[in-house]
Structure 1
Amino acid sequence: MTTPGRGHLHKFLADSVQRGATHAIVEITSEGIKQWRHFGILFDVLVYTNITPEHTERHGSFIKYKRTKLSLLKALKPHFKSTCGGVVLWNASDSELWKERSTFTQYANQGVYIKPSENDKNPFIGINYQLAKCVASQLHVTADLDDEEKFLPGRFELFRANPSVLVDYAHTPRAVEMCLEAARKLTSGKLIHVFGAAGGGRDSWKRPILAQLSEQYADVQILTEENSFDEPVRTIISNIQKGFSKNAEVYIEYKREEAIKKAFSLAKKYDLIVCTAKGSEVVIAGPRRSKRPYNERNFVTQCLHINQH
């Protein structure tokens, strides 16, 4: 879920080449860029899906965060060294990326904007999977993108049952909005949203915004822990609550497992439970650098099994 530390990414790529790999797709985070975890690696292709506020406390401001993300362009391979010619693919639907279109042409041999079609019949619901399909077509990647069994673990992963459960890694306002907007189309029943927010000074400004978005798209909100670090879960939840209206149907369960159990107790046959933020993570980070083992995908599977019997 983040860029490996310096040396680890390089070793992974070197080992992959030894095993015969010819291509690698790497996610580079803003913190990874800032800490030079990608140092010495040149990219044939860079893909920018969106730029929205995140980690602003660490970067100092959104402008500095954006500048950091765009600095990755300096790691684009020069044309004479690249089989692709130094390509930048960017999402034309994102307003911040649109503002930087001249920046992309400055660094790239080819600057291609991508925009998903509203008529796309791809069974992967959601704009991110449509963007992935656009990227694949631009790079001439041959893959069966119409097989809905190929969801990435914890990335808009749907567990079909009655009720169904959706597990996603979304934790920024934009990502949560896109997730809930797409999830809304999957159910004729109620949408029950289980979520929290990270502690430790991580983007605390977004907490009431997450509440507003959840109330806009979901029918029921269940607040719980995410990764609290050294900040009390009660404080985080209290901050989130400030974004709700008086009409919101909100429940609070401080332990994430109990929150999901609560969601199952409220859900009816055709409802959809959406759990955001944890995705495929396998721990919950707590105080004093503690890490409690927790796998949301496995826990949801257990709950579904119990619920069906």
Structure 2
Amino acid sequence: KTTCVYLIAKALEEAGYKVGYTSTAMFNDGKMEWLNDKKMTMVGRFFSQKMLKRMVENGCQYAIIETTSEGVVQFRHKFINYDILVFTSLYPEHIDSHGNFENYKTAKGGLFEHLKTCKTKYVDDDKRVVRADTDIKKLDLSRVKKTIIVNLDDEHSGYFLDFWAERKIGFTRNGSMVKDGSDLEIIRYGDINASQFGTEYRLFSGGLGKQKDEAGRLEVSLQLLGEFNATNSMTAFAVGFSEGIAPEPLIRGLRNVTGIPGRLERIDEGQDFTVIVDYAFEPKAVLKLYGVVNVLPHNNIIHVLGSTGGGRDVARRPKLGDIAGRYADYVIVTNEDPYDDDPEIIMDQVSLGAENSGKKIDKNLFKILDRREAIIKALNLAKKNDIVLVTGKGSEQAICVANGEKIPWDDRAVIRGILSNSEEGAGF
């Protein structure tokens, strides 16, 4: 979701609009962009609403709010008048707080149920919202249709399409079965080519502009790695399509994105091996990460990972270890965010999964409690053309430990400091 927020924002900015957003990784109020140091996506105490006020004051025409299931359950979406809701995918996450998958899906659905209660807005030709007390009949204004956008290739897309909306748009890779008589507008894409240099694909329908080839297709090129980023970028095209924005500036905006903080972020200090920092903390996300990494030319893969405490999903711990054990040549299990849990127990549970996949303690599997020392171990093991993965935290700015304490931390800064023998990251 964080990647989608960023891609939609950059595409709209290239189309000439001022955009603000809140996400797990970053905040932007239309004037400044800064890292999210709150350790949560939807911050409480009406933080999102206050950010929206700042965006309006700063002249933003669009606001993008990464909205979480936990945020909905805690009513942090209240009094936000959404206009477009985007569903990307659904897989088991935050089960610890929701109890089971059905509750999790229902919590997500609560946001879509909320759409029908959101106030109608009118905008001028510059996409600026006009105050509700304005006499709209005297002005040439457009009513913003309440819209749902879904990834049709996700098995749960039908659930979200069943909610009320004035307009429904779906995007699908190459094709999707849609019932006759459906009012769903469909954008198709495909011919994805994901390589070590980026990701290319074609749009086949849906608001295509002047850059179509002879077969009526539109070429899209991303600097981002991974087939899943083709899907992520489709959210930007769908939003643009819903707003009547030509695809050409959207393509430029997407092409100019070189990376998202803490999402497949490469750390380059001149070393002869690759270092990648990624937020992936769920098994499915880690599997997707390996799908990208395996495309890159490499010798050995060295993976530094842990798992979260604080009552989070305990069952995923050995699964994470199992995935790392199967796909990495060396696995280093370390501390992540233990909260009030015993970090040694968490590490043992992750390590067990790696051991069950054939890794041997102190041979190709290491348990190092201190996260900095674990990263140092990985970097020391790395040789030319190896890949070092550091996962679980991405661009997060703290490690959460017992009694609500947050220890300042940034995987990326720590790695840069170690690689460059500089003071960067020394304070963590």
The structure-2 alpha-carbon separation of the partners of 1:85 and 1:235, relative to structure 1 and needing over 3 Å to count, comes to same
1:17 and 2:56 are equivalent in the alignment: yes
| Residue 25 (structure 1) shift | 1.2
Structure number with greater CO (CA < 8 Å, separation at least 6) is: 1
Q: How many residues align?
A: 303
CA distance in 2, matches of 1:188, 1:168: 18
1:284 and 2:323 are equivalent in the alignment: no
Deviates more, 1:248-257 or 1:71-80: 71-80
Cα displacement string for residues 2-23 of structure 1 (whole angstroms, at most 9, x for unaligned residues): 1121411101001110110110
Cα displacement string for residues 106-138 of structure 1 (whole angstroms, at most 9, x for unaligned residues): 322333232353335123112442223211112
1:52 and 2:105 are equivalent in the alignment: no
Checking the alignment, whether the CA contact within 8 Å between 2:89 and 2:151 is kept in structure 1 is yes
Q: Which runs of 5+ in 2 are unaligned?
A: 1-23, 25-40, 122-142, 174-189, 194-198, 201-221, 423-428
**Residue 111 of structure 1, aligned match among 160, 168, 176:** 168
Checking the alignment, whether the CA contact within 8 Å between 1:167 and 1:276 is kept in structure 2 is yes
Checking the alignment, whether the CA contact within 8 Å between 2:326 and 2:357 is kept in structure 1 is no
**Residue 194 of structure 1, aligned match among 279, 291, 304:** 304
Q: Which amino acid aligns with 2:233?
A: K
Query: Structure 2-normalised TM-score?
Result: 0.67
Checking the alignment, whether the CA contact within 8 Å between 1:49 and 1:90 is kept in structure 2 is yes
The list of structure 1 runs, each at least 4 consecutive aligned residues, that deviate by more than 6 angstroms after superposition, is: none
**Residue 247 of structure 1, aligned match among 330, 336, 358:** 358
Q: Residue 209 of structure 2 corresponds to which residue in structure 1?
A: none
**Residue 147 of structure 1, aligned match among 256, 259, 262:** 256
Q: Which amino acid aligns with 1:240?
A: V
| Residue 102 (structure 1) shift | 5.0
1:269 and 2:408 are equivalent in the alignment: no
CA distance in 2, matches of 1:173, 1:255: 23
Deviates more, 1:174-183 or 1:201-210: 174-183
CA distance in 1, matches of 2:166, 2:159: 12
Q: Residue 126 of structure 1 corresponds to which residue in structure 2?
A: 226
Cα displacement string for residues 62-89 of structure 1 (whole angstroms, at most 9, x for unaligned residues): 1101110111102325799255522222
**Residue 220 of structure 1, aligned match among 330, 336, 340:** 330
CA distance in 2, matches of 1:138, 1:16: 23
Q: Residue 210 of structure 2 corresponds to which residue in structure 1?
A: none
1:72-91 aligned at under 5 Å gives the runs: 72-76=111-115, 81=120, 83-91=143-151
Checking the alignment, whether the CA contact within 8 Å between 1:156 and 1:167 is kept in structure 2 is yes
Deviates more, 1:86-95 or 1:54-63: 86-95
Checking the alignment, whether the CA contact within 8 Å between 1:127 and 1:178 is kept in structure 2 is no
Checking the alignment, whether the CA contact within 8 Å between 2:275 and 2:389 is kept in structure 1 is yes
CA distance in 2, matches of 1:102, 1:280: 32
Checking the alignment, whether the CA contact within 8 Å between 2:81 and 2:119 is kept in structure 1 is no
Checking the alignment, whether the CA contact within 8 Å between 2:301 and 2:388 is kept in structure 1 is yes
Deviates more, 1:139-148 or 1:129-138: 139-148
SS at match of 2:110: helix
The structure-2 alpha-carbon separation of the partners of 1:172 and 1:106, relative to structure 1 and needing over 3 Å to count, comes to same
1:38 and 2:80 are equivalent in the alignment: no
Q: Which amino acid aligns with 2:285?
A: A
* Percent of residue pairs bearing the same amino acid type: 32
Q: Which amino acid aligns with 1:93?
A: D
Checking the alignment, whether the CA contact within 8 Å between 1:6 and 1:36 is kept in structure 2 is no
Deviates more, 1:82-91 or 1:216-225: 82-91
CA distance in 1, matches of 2:153, 2:332: 31
Cα displacement string for residues 170-190 of structure 1 (whole angstroms, at most 9, x for unaligned residues): 111111211222122123221
* Higher share of residues assigned strand: 2
CA distance in 1, matches of 2:340, 2:419: 32
Checking the alignment, whether the CA contact within 8 Å between 1:59 and 1:65 is kept in structure 2 is yes
SS at match of 2:64: coil
Q: Which runs of 5+ in 1 are unaligned?
A: none
| Residue 303 (structure 1) shift | 2.1
Checking the alignment, whether the CA contact within 8 Å between 2:332 and 2:368 is kept in structure 1 is yes
The structure-2 alpha-carbon separation of the partners of 1:71 and 1:177, relative to structure 1 and needing over 3 Å to count, comes to same
Deviates more, 1:269-278 or 1:47-56: 47-56
Query: Structure 1-normalised TM-score?
Result: 0.91
Q: Residue 236 of structure 2 corresponds to which residue in structure 1?
A: 136
Cα displacement string for residues 269-293 of structure 1 (whole angstroms, at most 9, x for unaligned residues): 1111111111111111111112111
